[in-house]
Structure 1
Amino acid sequence: MYFVETLAVEGLGNRSYLAGGSAHAVAVDPPRDVDRVLAAAARRGVRITHVVESHLHNDYVTGGLELARITGAAYLVPAGAHVSFDRVPVADGDTAALEDGLVLRAVATPGHTPHHTSYVLEDAGTPVAAFTGGSLLIGGVGRPDLVEPRLTERLARAQHASAHRLAQLPDEVRVLPTHGFGSFCSSSQAEGGSSTIGGEKAANAALLKDVDSFVADLLAGLDDVPAYYAHMGPANAAGPAPVDLTAPRRADAAEVAERLAAGEWVVDLRSRTAFAEGHVAGAFNFELDGQLATYLAWLIPWGRPVTLLAETPEQVAAAQRELVRVGIDRPAAAATGRPEEWTADGALRSFPRADFAALAAALAADGDPVVLDVRRDSERAAARIGGSVHIPLHELRGRMAEVPAGTVWVHCAGGMRAAVAASLLDAAGRDVVAVDDSFDSARAAGLVTAA
């Protein structure tokens, strides 16, 4: 009897898997904080004998090399992936026996990367699950544009062929992708948490459209690529170092001020509500409960030291765990407690929050407040607020001079990105109002016009 356990990596929108039988298991596309995988194996009383990668990941630093070192497992990596460490190169059709009757079979599925490989778990010769990585996702496929622009169309066509190859598996086989749950590595986001080959045949565009239509639609729908992706592939190819999740050194108010003065990043992990009510001047707000790793890694100048501010040491520890997954390995320092304790004189900055109804009232009263839309291009293409200025969040730091004078009402689709943008503007000395509301409310307030 086999098992498959899903290890969700919520902040990055990915999944890793532990699968096996009564005694042995394989870890598929493990996150960098491998203690989670080890704990899952210990709970089940199984030994990890194999660690496999579907591809060199673009959106996170893998824990595969370290997990294989700790466990003594065979480390299976697609043969076409150029890496700087010893591994077991895997080619199409290769098999790995986990235990009696339980076998993992490699299936070449290029498209997300040229070397992408899926793995089919077979129980007594019957395929039961397909670990599809960034190939066939729930309702979509992995994006083909993260390797090299000149390869994008070729890889898109390969994605279509790979999806059809996987579709030859029996309908009841479970589809278990790594991407598709919020990761920017996917071309669309999963609707629902599980699927089968049969379910994908009925709903996945890669299996319903001819190749030319599929490729045209896929390429037209590609969105922005987070800047930190440029650093993930090289880190994974070189062989990531073990992580250090011990508590960072404690910073007092004077050190926080010194780090701000030096141009380092001081990141307040508290909720956007708490941050708006009172925060250290110059700090940036990236909520721990939001997509912390994705957006902090996207916006920060790569390699810039980070100091974390939080209410509790546990929140700092949770942030560290998220950040090591994207290569931000050690905070320079951290401070916990109340924001008044993070400044020498206890003085804090604040700014108001509002909803779209308040923005509508301000527009009606003034007629000319600055409205800043920090959504991505694809979101704005669907609908926008007339007269608003558009600067996607990930471009804002470099385009501050384009924000018109006056109080800035900043919005996104739900409030989280607007809060980050508001903190950036506030740190730059701008008067700001953070619109903390669903964009659906903008429609209800009569603010939305067709793009």
Structure 2
Amino acid sequence: MFFVDPLETAGLGNRSYLAGGRHAALVVDPPRDIDRVIAAAARRGVRIALVVETHLHNDYVTGGLDLARATGAQYLVPAAAPVSFDRVPVADGDATPVDEGLTLRAMATPGHTPHHTSYVLEEDGRAVAAFTGGSLLIGSVGRPDLVEPRLTAALARAQHASAHRLADELDDAVPVLPTHGFGSFCSSAQADGNTTTIGAERARNDALVKDVDTFVAELLAGLDDVPAYYAHMGPANAAGPRPLDLTPPAPADAEQIARRLAAGEWVVDLRSRVAFAEGHVAGSFNFEGEGQLATYLAWLIPWGRPVTLLASSASDVAHAQRELARVGVGRPVAAATGDPRSWVRTAEELRSFRRSDFAGLAAAREHGDQPVVLDVRRDTERRAGAIAGSVHIPVHELPKRLDEVPEGVVWVHCAGGMRAAIAASLLDATGREVVAVDDGFGAAEAAGLTLSHPAADAPARTTGAAPATA
């Protein structure tokens, strides 16, 4: 009997997989923190014999090379992937033994990247699982615009063809096990559910139910912004990432925190947005430790800028350090835990700001306060509806566009509160008076705020990153 264990990396919206038989297993698209992969194999009592990559990843630093070296496993990488380290190059149709009765067969499925390869696990010659990486996802496909702008249209067509190849060659009952689609920006749309099969995708996936021209046109029109750090992931993975260092950062006291802020380094407060608003170090930024910490911090920070972490506990720091390492953010230079009053030299170095909801914003407008309403959602979100008269600057563009925010008290909102808290902290660090709207956008109209649909027909922009190399 075979098994397949998904390994979630929820903060990045990805999955890796441990799969195998009684004695040996393979790992598909491993995360950078390989200790949890090794632990999963130990729980199963199996040896990791193969480590395989479906493609050079654009959204995280792989742990594949490190895992293969640590376990002695063969490292299978698509032959056309431009890497500078030794590996087993894999071509379409290659079959590799895994365990007794289990074989892994490579299937070329270009589209997410030119070299993208899916892998079919076969038991006694029968396909029992398809690891589709960034090709066929749950209800969607991997986006085709992360490699090179001039290749995007051709790769979109290749995605359509690859999806059809998978559907044509595999039985309806075969599970589809993608890497992306659970919140990753590598997906063209988010997963509708957690599991799927070839048959289920045949019935609903746009790549399989629409003709190629319609599919390509709609796919390209719906592409969202690209996180800036993606530009660094492909080159890091092609070069071969170094082993991960998760040793705790040096402790920082109030004097050191002040010096680092004065030097232009980033001091990041990992506490909840509620706690941050109530009291925080002036000049620090709020990126909550839970949720999409790695995505948004890596997206906004100038690449390579030193980071100091502030948190309630050492475990919160350790969690954040692991999350950030997955996307190549360097080891934090320092950290402090405990109460924010211990992070400052004087009480004057503590700041706070107000929080409210959309009903509070509506009341402020009715009272004639004339608040500046700042919408920090992405373009695609705003086109579905926006508060009339609001200013729009997506949160990932805000650090470079702070001078575009009009004078006055700024009420900042997003879709649910997390990004509004980030934006509020960026503005607060400059001395602006802000109110963070901690509310779901669905409550805006019910609160009496008028919605408009700006630029409803405008195409989505892809901003914030140079083209990745892979």
TM tier, shorter chain? Answer: over 0.9
Read off the aligned partner of 1:355 and give its amino acid letter. Answer: D
Specify the alignment match of 1:52 in structure 2: 52
Contact 2:7 2:15 in 1 (8 A): yes
C-alpha distance in structure 2 between counterparts of 1:431 and 1:367, whole Å: 13
User: Can you list the C-alpha shifts for 1:164-215, whole angstroms capped at 9, x where unaligned?
Assistant: 0011210000000000000000000001100000000111000000000000
C-alpha distance in structure 1 between counterparts of 2:450 and 2:106, whole Å: 49
* Secondary structure, aligned partner of 1:371: strand
Specify the alignment match of 1:297 in structure 2: 298
C-alpha distance in structure 2 between counterparts of 1:444 and 1:122, whole Å: 53
Specify the alignment match of 1:125 in structure 2: 125
C-alpha distance in structure 2 between counterparts of 1:238 and 1:329, whole Å: 17
C-alpha distance in structure 2 between counterparts of 1:36 and 1:261, whole Å: 38
Query: What TM-score comes out, normalization by structure 2 length?
Result: 0.95
Deviation at 1:346, TM superposition (A): 3.8
Specify the alignment match of 2:440 in structure 1: 438
Deviation at 1:329, TM superposition (A): 2.8
Deviation at 1:447, TM superposition (A): 1.5
Deviation at 1:35, TM superposition (A): 0.3
Deviation at 1:219, TM superposition (A): 0.1
C-alpha distance in structure 2 between counterparts of 1:449 and 1:312, whole Å: 41
* Secondary structure, aligned partner of 2:247: coil
* Secondary structure, aligned partner of 2:60: coil
C-alpha distance in structure 1 between counterparts of 2:430 and 2:369, whole Å: 25
C-alpha distance in structure 2 between counterparts of 1:428 and 1:194, whole Å: 45
* Secondary structure, aligned partner of 1:256: helix
Long gaps (5+) in structure 2: 454-470
Read off the aligned partner of 1:14 and give its amino acid letter. Answer: N
User: Can you list the C-alpha shifts for 1:266-303, whole angstroms capped at 9, x where unaligned?
Assistant: 00000000000000000000000121000000000000
1:277 is the counterpart of 2:278: yes
* Secondary structure, aligned partner of 2:351: coil
Contact 1:244 1:329 in 2 (8 A): no
C-alpha distance in structure 1 between counterparts of 2:344 and 2:100, whole Å: 62
* Secondary structure, aligned partner of 2:442: helix
Specify the alignment match of 1:111 in structure 2: 111
Deviation at 1:367, TM superposition (A): 5.7
Instruction: Give 1:121-160 correspondences, 5 Å limit.
Output: 121-160=121-160
Read off the aligned partner of 2:441 and give its amino acid letter. Answer: F
C-alpha distance in structure 2 between counterparts of 1:378 and 1:416, whole Å: 18
Deviation at 1:448, TM superposition (A): 4.0
Read off the aligned partner of 1:420 and give its amino acid letter. Answer: I
CA RMSD, Structure 1 to Structure 2 (Å): 0.7
Which one of the candidate residues 412, 415, 419 is aligned to 1:413? 415
C-alpha distance in structure 1 between counterparts of 2:247 and 2:403, whole Å: 40
Instruction: Give 1:419-430 correspondences, 5 Å limit.
Output: 419-430=421-432
C-alpha distance in structure 2 between counterparts of 1:134 and 1:404, whole Å: 41
* Secondary structure, aligned partner of 1:212: helix
Does 1 or 2 have the higher relative contact order (CA < 8 Å, sep 6+)? 2
Instruction: Give 1:302-321 correspondences, 5 Å limit.
Output: 302-321=303-322
Deviation at 1:450, TM superposition (A): 3.0
Specify the alignment match of 1:337 in structure 2: 338
C-alpha distance in structure 1 between counterparts of 2:256 and 2:67, whole Å: 36
Specify the alignment match of 1:99 in structure 2: 99
Instruction: Give 1:386-405 correspondences, 5 Å limit.
Output: 386-405=388-407
Residue correspondences, number: 451
Deviation at 1:321, TM superposition (A): 0.6
Identity value in percent: 75
Specify the alignment match of 2:459 in structure 1: none
Query: What TM-score comes out, normalization by structure 1 length?
Result: 0.99
Contact 2:304 2:330 in 1 (8 A): no
User: Can you list the C-alpha shifts for 1:296-354, whole angstroms capped at 9, x where unaligned?
Assistant: 00000000000000010000000011001000131010001110000012441000000
Moved more, 46-55 or 343-352: 343-352
C-alpha distance in structure 2 between counterparts of 1:91 and 1:216, whole Å: 30
